[in-house]
Structure 1
Amino acid sequence: MNDDDGWRERQRRAVRAHAEADARQRAAEQARAAELVADFAVEATRRGLRPDRLVATSYDGRRRYRTPVTGWYVDRARTRAVDTEGRFYLLTVPSSLRSRLLGSRPAPSMPPLVVGAGGRDGESLPLATLLALRLAEGDNWR
């Protein structure tokens, strides 16, 4: 093995170690965010916040679709929500005739620890803060 081969192998190991550390960090952040969302659902129920039948919006914002999901919107745009089971939803979906007729069935998604991070508007907010604000406003938020 020459020096170039040894250097390449060290580089591969370093890249692999970095990727594994990054994956562990992402998994820990996702677990923490999921815990925050589940705690929010418990606390919203305890406080008597009335859950709504959630509505999804098309990506272009022109259409609204019924969903079978019941929960609480957590942002004013009504694009993020938590269901009564403590799962997080992004409520933007593709436009479709099927959804217009039968409604949309959004799937739960992994919540981010920072909502809006990397967005074009530059506005981001920690998930814990967003959920705390929503709880503080209670049913007056509607």
Structure 2
Amino acid sequence: MDAIVGIHGAQLTHAIWMRPGSVVVEMLPWVMDGLTMGKWTKYVHTYTPLGAIFENTNLVHVGLPLDASSASHIECLEKSFTANSTEPTSFDCIKKNRINGWDERDFSVPQDKLLHLLQRFVVDVNKNDGRSISSSSSSSSSLTCEDYKNRAGDDFVI
């Protein structure tokens, strides 16, 4: 199975050149509670603006909402910062310093979260040694949209 994995952005539109049944994984940058710009990045009940592009295609779009840990490298955020923090210093850090905005900053993705996503939607990882990767045991051509929604649960946007 073919897949493209990337952060939210126009670069993922290159997926239109992929083979039918390919998977488009959109990592959604974390946005602090209380900020309105980009708040859709934390919802899993509807597709993202980019996901709408793939709605009536033969591609599978999967959105992975990232949590506050993906922005933990930002120095001005406090060490004890949580996703529900509304402390003024945290808001100032994110809102006033433009480079820390969701659409400008770097991000990190925990390895286990990415591996979980890949195992669920793209490939099977050999559980014996964790190093062998093979094509998904359930080929994309045999999975329905409902199958992907069931695999996503409340963790991913389909």
**TM-score, with length taken from structure 2:** 0.26
Task: Looking at secondary structure, tell me which structure has more strand per residue.
Answer: 1
What is the TM-score when the length of structure 1 is the normalising length?
A: 0.28
Question: Which structure: greater helix fraction?
Answer: 1
